[in-house]
Copies of this chain bind each other. A is one copy, B any other.
Amino acid sequence: MHQAKFDVLGIGNAIVDILASTTDAFLNEHGIAKGAMTLVDSFRAELLGKSMQGAVEASGGSAANTLVGISSLGGRAAFIGKVNDDRLGQVFMDDIRKAGVAFDGKPTAGKVATASSHILVSPDGQRSMNTFLGCASDLHAADMSQSLIADASILFIEGYLWDAPTTKAAIRTAIAHARAASRRVAFTLSDPFCVGRWREEFLELLKSDIDIVFANEEEAKSLFQTDSFNGALQAFRKWGKTAAITRSEKGAVIVGNGEVHIIDAEPVERVVDTTGAGDQFAAGFLFGTSRGLGLDVCGRLGGIAAAEVISHFGPRPQVSLKALAGKAGIL
Residue numbers of A with Cβ under 8 A of B are 228-230, 233-234, 237, 250, 253, 258, 260-264, 296
Contacts and interface: CB of A to CB of B under 8 A. Distances in A.
Nearest to A264: B229
Contacts of A264: 228-230
**7 shortest interchain CB distances as A-B pairs:** A260-B260, A230-B262, A230-B261, A233-B262, A229-B264, A230-B296, A229-B262
6 contacts: A233-B261, A233-B262, A234-B261, A250-B250, A260-B260, A262-B262
**Total identical chains:** 2
A85 B250 CA distance: 50
Contacts of A233: 260-262
A277 to B, nearest CB: 19
Nearest to A299: B230
Contacts of A230: 261-264, 296
A230 B237 CA distance: 17
Contacts of A234: 261, 296
Contacts of A258: 258
A264 B229 CA distance: 8
Contacts of A296: 230, 234
A250 B264 CA distance: 10
A263 B229 CA distance: 8
A228 B266 CA distance: 11
Contacts of A229: 262, 264
A252 to B, nearest CB: 10
